[in-house]
Structure 1
Amino acid sequence: MLLRANELVYNQDSQRVTATGGVQIYYNRHRMVAQRVEYDQKTGRVMATGNIELVEPDGNRIYAESLDITDDFGEGFVNSLRVETTDNTRMAAESAEQLPDEKMILNNGVYTACLPCAQRPDKAPLWQVKAQRVIRDGKSHTIRLEHARFELFGMPIGYVPFVTVPDETVERKSGFLFPSMSLTDKLGFGTTVPYYHVFSPSMDATLSPTYYTKQGLLLQGEVRNRFETGDHTLRFAYIDQQKASAFDPGTSDARAGNRAMIYSKGEFKINPRWTFGWNAMIQSDNNFSKTYKLEGLNTSNVTNDVYLTGIGTRNYFDLHNYYFDVQDTDYSSLAEKRQAIVYPVIDYTYYAPEPVAGGELSFNANLTNISRRKDDFYTEGSSTRFRGLEGSYSRFTAEAEWKRTFTTDEGLLITPILAARGDGLRSTASSAPSYNGVTYDGDFSGDSANARYMLTAGFEARYPVLITTGTGTHVIEPMAQVFARPNEQLAGELPNEDAQSFVFDATTLFERDKFSGYDRIEGGTRANVGVRYSGTFDNGIGLRGIFGQSYQLAGQNSFATADLVNVGADSGLESKVSDFVTMAALDLPKGYTIQAQGRFDEKTLELRRADASVSYKLPRVNGTVIYTNIQPQPEYGLQETAEYLKAANSLKINENWSFATSATWDINKRDVVRRGVGLTYADECTVFTVAYSDQPANTDPNDWTVTARLTFRTLGDINVGSSGDSSSN
């Protein structure tokens, strides 16, 4: 024992040692300071008074006015006790007793995880639990509160006979979690009482039964396993609906009785380069998980996936098998049957480690094998689109590309490009797809096997010019590309599964092949011409921009040929001279970014499409406003201008409170497509959020949702609604 004090008195007759004035004791990894300490050598007890602070070996601090304890600090009595743990949990009591079995019993105690107010330390914390007895067990690592009253803002709001929480040393502890609640118009009021159980350091589970006032008891659980090379999660849910009539008649929800779901997710590292994993869900009907808002599975589309990926220094391998669960109210599950079943799709990319003829040689391959149970056709306006054909479709694609950049003495950058591609294809679809009396008028190949190729010789020239002024730096880069190719073989004669989403704008202007997938190949000789600009000013302002146009110089224009989904129609590339595309962005030093891009008719300069956004990130406010304008596109079924305005904003009211809103407006229809609002409070011990969202005319059987979450650090969460819901959705 190391003892320090201003005055030390040793009474040999009574065998008492008395230290006064700034007493410091270091013994058996314990540290204590006090105004007066008396040690009785006969009884082995230490009695301390006056501003006592005892620091235990684990870092916890005990403050008291008087203390009577054994010399090994194993047992004793304390008056006016206050305990601060290493995770900022605080306990206080009128008196306490330290027992030899590592238990401390606090009488008339208070428990909280909130820090005291710096301006008013005597002010009640945001929340606290007052109990007749607080038992801190060092062996079981728990804190038990008996006859506990929960107070919020100093006001009592609840009573429980006892509650047990883990102490600061515990990361995972079996026991009941805070109940959660939900409120929806078709399910009613729901209450969930989760139970968490730890099986081992690598395995735990949560059972979360929920009772809905309209539909009965929903049983759901989750079992988690962690292995040396990965982890696995198994989830399940079941309910016997008590009031299916609450749902709209004829829907899958209204016609369901017993509903169940099983979900499995796993990922394993085979070695540092290879990863194998899966996500798989099976449910009794097509809308169970979405209707009951099962966390992570309540989206309109759930992707089942088995995958294998490998990443090397110069190559990449990616294999996926997909099955898409479409969750909607259609009892026949027609939308899901129209989705492709993918088994598999494989992508492989390779870059030569050494230059070939002074340039970069790359190789990529794709294998796609899919089937579909129902034709995916639809008519909108005067346009019929054949998005997917019943039957099977397989394609193997291999492509090699070589390019090298030369720099002239004048600064001109010249890049020759050579590419060669070959495809083998097999389709079992009908020879003449038709829908609602409309037959595809292209030369569709039907049930057949085919092969095609594409050879490309390209040339790219860029001349970046650096301009430095007294106020900033600017780079202006005129750019031109020419790609000479034969016509696209079998154009419009084959299914188009992966090249349907096509938008011609400034980001795709200088792409060698502007199609979004492998099923279409851009053919013919084409030139892309434009200019890029970037500039920075000394005051922190940044400017970026692109302007250009594309020209079909010779051969067949792939974007003007017939296609099962009209992919090139109204794209701006279907004519010999394309529409103008442009993009401009302004970055301001205060956190603002303004960006806009547009496509304009090549003859009249009329607007064809526009996208604009304003984003801002300030100390208290941040958000984004996005505007989209799409002019009529009859070939896509869009008969009138579509204009949308989407805004998402958050305001930090003060250090603790924040407010968020989101909304999407259909400007032409003068209707709100989606909206939401949320309020959040957060400090070191409490997080509270409440949100409301709705989506008129959606496929969710619940038209509106209210969610709330109240989190008390160390105690748990109180939820109202689904944790997957958010006002920003």
Structure 2
Amino acid sequence: MRKVADILRSAGLAAALTLALPLAGGVGAGAQGLPTVTAKPGEKLLVEADELIYDNDRNTVTARGNAELHYGPRTLQADRVRYDRGTGRVFAEGNVRLTEADGGVVTGARMELTDDFKTGFIDQLRVQQTVERRGETVRTRFSAPRAERVGGEQTSFDYGSYTACEPCKNAPETPPLWQIRAQKIIHNNETHTVYFEESTLEVAGIPVAYLPYFEAPDPTVRRKTGFLTPRFVSSTPLGRGVSLPYFVDLAPNYDLTLTPTLLSRQGLLAQAEFRHRLDTGFYNIRLSGISQTTPSAFLPSPLGAGERDFRGSVESQGRFYINDRWRTGWDLVGVTDKWFLDNYRIRNQTITTDYFREAVSTAYLTGQGDRSWFDMRAFYFKGLSSFDWQKQQPIVAPVIDYDKRVNGPPEIGGEVRFQGNITSLTRETTQYQGLPRTASYLFSPSVNGVSFPLYQTCTVFARGTCLIQGLAGTDTRASAQLSWRRSFIDDWGQKFTPFASLRLDAFFVNPSLSGYQNELAPAVAKIDDGFAGRVMPTVGLDYRYPFVANFGGLGVHTLEPIGQVLVRPSETRIGRLPNEDAQSLVFDDTSLFEWDKFSGYDRVEGGVRTNLGAQYSVVTPSGWYTNILFGESIQLAGVNSFRRGDLANTGLESGLETRRSDFVGRFQVSPNQNITFISRARFDQSNFHVARFETGVTARFAPFAPLSLSAFYSYYEAQPLLGYSRYREGITASATYNITPNWFVSGSVLVDLTHYLDVRNTYNDALTSYIANPIGAVPLYQNPGRFYVAGASFGGGYQDECTTVSVNYINSPIATATGVRERNQTVLLRVELKTLGEADLRQNVGTATTSDGIASAR
């Protein structure tokens, strides 16, 4: 026997050696029953090492020092490897590392394998797999004192453990945050399934749960038929229960999930969801239903579904891409009652939540070009709170928008823009809102210095008494606007932007004048019935003259006067046409220089008007930015569109209803890109009284500090002609603080500072008491204090590469609208063990009466 390395060294060759060996032929019995393998034609075992020892007597090759053996896609590395050509077995010792074809890594102290590395025994086994799940990299780890590989498709671990947690770098012997220990773990690579026998879940080395047997897909599996992680439920109206989803992998591109939920108070909630992905998009359908055993757990009608036995929903979503410019789809929600989705905690992304809830069903077709945009939709709004009357909700179909921009003809240059809109909606019942009465109407008693407004009843519509926020019947409008603008900058730096537009509107109104509530409106409202047209031409000029000065380290300072003049005829048919999409009118710094300050197409601004203002800005080399804007709008001639209210009084008390508007301003400071302070306000033109004020800060200090926060204060003066008898004032704030890279706390709060003025919840009782005994001992209204937490949430949690745990308390402002007998105060516990599953536990807390005092908790 002679060392091959010695021969090569004598020839002056490099120390790293490579030897290609043919695999052993035939099948024979090796030590401990290991079979040899039959070599495929052309297959070779490639051996690399610092030193190779070839033993002709024993027909073995030994590799020492940085030994590497390659067979196909697999690589075996060790300090020392001995290959027995006769039996086709490989013996590896010392820092053994086997890399699989899929990138998985198996390590151990000693391995005895066949020469294709598929079958054998491993001592002190460690297996690491790396996969991508939901856009993040997840690493899983198996370990065992001894394991057996069979055919490269199955590995059996004796007294093994499994975890997705990284070992502690400073103390590797410390148990991971969580792991599963079992007498036997079998990982089948062919079925991608992991089987656990006599297993225990340990958290920080402490056993917390025992399972005699369970199986789970391995981390490489994205879809597989079987049970998903159960979810636990606990609440007063539902009782305690558990959901056990069962996933059915019908095909690579569609599947079915069946989710029975057994509830101790209500029985069996059944859910089924079908998902289908196609070449051009996807769609899904979800059905939910339950025959309740205890309907009385919910509030009675009209505040809840306390009289219903069967309740359910159907939901569907679809997205399809016709080509790279066009797409279509739908979002649909249908429910037996408005409280079902919330009562049974069925999540739906089409549900919008603020103080009230609604589900928006829509179907759409959207196209987008380089300088054009098209959108066609249909809407169905389902009110999901106790305050909604479905007959007042419109069905909108269709809504068509088109926007196209092109370069102007060479004779005039600039940009030409075409905008078009068609909207048609139908409503069964007219939606009224009564305006607050003053002392001149009836009486306005005062308690603790606070006057008590009474709201008028809209028995007959009259301007100044009622608002019509939605008219019954069918309203169809087609609008088209063609506009042009071009900017010129002279040698002095002055910027002139002349513009012109022509707006055409056609209304087809068919109001419903009979039936409950509908017959109250038409006589006084004088709605135009049938066809009505409107034309609004506009010409104008926008002028800006920025003065720029560079003060070096103090930054670049810019002072820019701005003037705008718009010439057009007066708006026609004010108050004689429905207003559905232009009721939201906010006059502030963002709308000061808008050509048309109305928010929608149903109204159009008319008359000759000038918008005047100036802004001052500073930008420093260090990144400091400051901006100040101040201005007003003046009606020069014609009818002021904002002075004459329509059916919804839009324009009145907006700050634009007088010839000279209120002043509006903005102040913004950003010391850097992570912090922004901003304030905006509207001041009364005559006495500079603050009519509207908003101020707040947003900050994100990372990576310098683990804190992000936002806080805003808002104040809006009373607008009785719009239905707001009192001023509105409140604070909203939210923050997240990362205590460590893994631990965090977060919270948010909405504080109503005018709740003590709000008498909606006690109006009936208070009025009855006052009329019965106006000077008796029963107070008309009890002052609950200035600060009222309308909504809040706070909590915290832990998150790392393998675990997420969070606990949150949520106090929602929609408590009186959800149809249950207790306030919506919820504690939510969420635990996720990555690659194993997650569990959510919700628990309603508190048994106080609802804030409307209607029913108490059981």
- TM-score, length-normalised on structure 2? 0.81
Amino acid of the residue matched to residue 816 of structure 2?
N
Q: Specify the alignment match of 1:273 in structure 2.
A: 325
Q: Which moved more, 1:159-168 or 1:300-309?
A: 159-168
8 A Cα contact 1:184 1:706, kept in partner: no
Which residue, 630, 644, 653 being the options, matches 1:561? Answer: 644
Give how far 1:400 is off: 0.9
Which residue, 311, 316, 319 being the options, matches 2:368? Answer: 311
8 A Cα contact 1:269 1:276, kept in partner: yes
Which residue, 493, 496, 518 being the options, matches 1:411? Answer: 493
> 1:59-458 maps to which residues of 2 (within 5 A)?
59-87=103-131, 88-100=139-151, 102-250=153-301, 251-296=303-348, 299=352, 300-329=357-386, 335-355=389-409, 357-382=412-437, 384-429=466-511, 444-458=526-540
8 A Cα contact 1:461 1:479, kept in partner: yes
Using the alignment, how far apart are the partners of 1:9 and 1:436 within structure 2?
101
Q: Specify the alignment match of 2:810 in structure 1.
A: 693
Which residue, 699, 710, 716 being the options, matches 2:831? Answer: 710
- What SS class does the counterpart of residue 508 from structure 1 fall into? coil
Amino acid of the residue matched to residue 70 of structure 1?
T
Q: Specify the alignment match of 1:506 in structure 2.
A: 589
Using the alignment, how far apart are the partners of 1:599 and 1:433 within structure 2?
43
Deviations 1:442-464 (A, max 9, x none): 76234332111111111111111
8 A Cα contact 1:127 1:154, kept in partner: yes
- What SS class does the counterpart of residue 588 from structure 1 fall into? strand
Residues 681 and 125 (structure 1), Cα distance of their counterparts in 2 relative to 1, 3 Å cut: same
Amino acid of the residue matched to residue 121 of structure 1?
P
Give how far 1:354 is off: 4.5
- What SS class does the counterpart of residue 537 from structure 2 fall into? strand
Residues 675 and 384 (structure 1), Cα distance of their counterparts in 2 relative to 1, 3 Å cut: same
Which residue, 528, 535, 543 being the options, matches 1:461? Answer: 543
Deviations 1:199-247 (A, max 9, x none): 1121122222222222222111221111111110111101111111111
Using the alignment, how far apart are the partners of 2:571 and 2:422 within structure 1?
20
- What SS class does the counterpart of residue 522 from structure 1 fall into? coil
Using the alignment, how far apart are the partners of 2:560 and 2:510 within structure 1?
49
1:642 and 2:728 correspond: yes
Amino acid of the residue matched to residue 521 of structure 1?
V
Using the alignment, how far apart are the partners of 1:407 and 1:462 within structure 2?
10
Amino acid of the residue matched to residue 496 of structure 1?
N
Q: Specify the alignment match of 1:676 in structure 2.
A: 793
Give how far 1:430 is off: 5.6
Amino acid of the residue matched to residue 659 of structure 1?
V
Q: Which moved more, 1:701-710 or 1:528-537?
A: 701-710
Give how far 1:196 is off: 1.8
Using the alignment, how far apart are the partners of 2:71 and 2:325 within structure 1?
52
Amino acid of the residue matched to residue 404 of structure 2?
Y
> 1:595-674 maps to which residues of 2 (within 5 A)?
595-619=678-702, 620-669=706-755, 670-674=787-791
8 A Cα contact 2:185 2:197, kept in partner: yes
8 A Cα contact 1:183 1:705, kept in partner: no
Deviations 1:165-220 (A, max 9, x none): 22343222222111112333322333211122221121122222222222222111
8 A Cα contact 1:177 1:717, kept in partner: no
Structure number with the higher strand fraction is: 1
Residues 573 and 636 (structure 1), Cα distance of their counterparts in 2 relative to 1, 3 Å cut: same
Using the alignment, how far apart are the partners of 2:565 and 2:711 within structure 1?
37
Residues 219 and 312 (structure 1), Cα distance of their counterparts in 2 relative to 1, 3 Å cut: same
8 A Cα contact 1:149 1:156, kept in partner: yes
8 A Cα contact 1:149 1:159, kept in partner: yes
- What SS class does the counterpart of residue 559 from structure 1 fall into? coil
- What SS class does the counterpart of residue 672 from structure 2 fall into? coil
8 A Cα contact 1:404 1:415, kept in partner: yes
Using the alignment, how far apart are the partners of 2:709 and 2:501 within structure 1?
43
Amino acid of the residue matched to residue 381 of structure 1?
P
8 A Cα contact 1:378 1:435, kept in partner: no
Q: Which moved more, 1:154-163 or 1:124-133?
A: 154-163
Deviations 1:594-651 (A, max 9, x none): 1000000101001001011111111211111011001121212222221100011111
Q: Gapped runs of 5+ residues in structure 2?
A: 1-44, 132-138, 438-464, 756-786, 844-858
Larger radius of gyration: 2
Give how far 1:549 is off: 0.4
8 A Cα contact 2:416 2:484, kept in partner: yes
- What SS class does the counterpart of residue 635 from structure 1 fall into? helix
Give how far 1:431 is off: 7.2
Residues 221 and 533 (structure 1), Cα distance of their counterparts in 2 relative to 1, 3 Å cut: farther
Backbone CA RMSD of aligned residues: 2.2
Give how far 1:698 is off: 3.5
8 A Cα contact 1:633 1:639, kept in partner: yes
Q: Gapped runs of 5+ residues in structure 1?
A: 723-729
Deviations 1:456-476 (A, max 9, x none): 111111111211112100222
Q: Specify the alignment match of 1:726 in structure 2.
A: none
8 A Cα contact 2:304 2:819, kept in partner: no
Residues 29 and 433 (structure 1), Cα distance of their counterparts in 2 relative to 1, 3 Å cut: closer
8 A Cα contact 1:615 1:625, kept in partner: yes
Residues 590 and 281 (structure 1), Cα distance of their counterparts in 2 relative to 1, 3 Å cut: closer
Using the alignment, how far apart are the partners of 2:517 and 2:658 within structure 1?
28
Using the alignment, how far apart are the partners of 2:716 and 2:222 within structure 1?
53
8 A Cα contact 1:433 1:440, kept in partner: no
Using the alignment, how far apart are the partners of 1:431 and 1:75 within structure 2?
85
Residues 52 and 374 (structure 1), Cα distance of their counterparts in 2 relative to 1, 3 Å cut: same
Using the alignment, how far apart are the partners of 1:10 and 1:277 within structure 2?
69
8 A Cα contact 2:386 2:816, kept in partner: no
Residues 407 and 41 (structure 1), Cα distance of their counterparts in 2 relative to 1, 3 Å cut: closer
8 A Cα contact 1:609 1:631, kept in partner: yes
- What SS class does the counterpart of residue 642 from structure 2 fall into? helix
Give how far 1:9 is off: 3.7
8 A Cα contact 1:624 1:647, kept in partner: yes
Aligned length: 719
8 A Cα contact 1:442 1:493, kept in partner: no
Amino acid of the residue matched to residue 531 of structure 1?
A
Give how far 1:131 is off: 1.0
Give how far 1:141 is off: 1.7
Q: Specify the alignment match of 1:541 in structure 2.
A: 624
8 A Cα contact 2:202 2:209, kept in partner: yes
- TM-score, length-normalised on structure 1? 0.95
Residues 443 and 49 (structure 1), Cα distance of their counterparts in 2 relative to 1, 3 Å cut: closer
Using the alignment, how far apart are the partners of 1:24 and 1:386 within structure 2?
83
8 A Cα contact 1:184 1:704, kept in partner: no
Using the alignment, how far apart are the partners of 2:80 and 2:370 within structure 1?
69
Deviations 1:369-391 (A, max 9, x none): 11101111121413522001111
Give how far 1:477 is off: 1.3
- What SS class does the counterpart of residue 209 from structure 1 fall into? strand
8 A Cα contact 2:429 2:518, kept in partner: no
Using the alignment, how far apart are the partners of 1:575 and 1:184 within structure 2?
55
Using the alignment, how far apart are the partners of 2:693 and 2:649 within structure 1?
21
> 1:15-34 maps to which residues of 2 (within 5 A)?
15-34=59-78
Q: Which moved more, 1:200-209 or 1:617-626?
A: 200-209
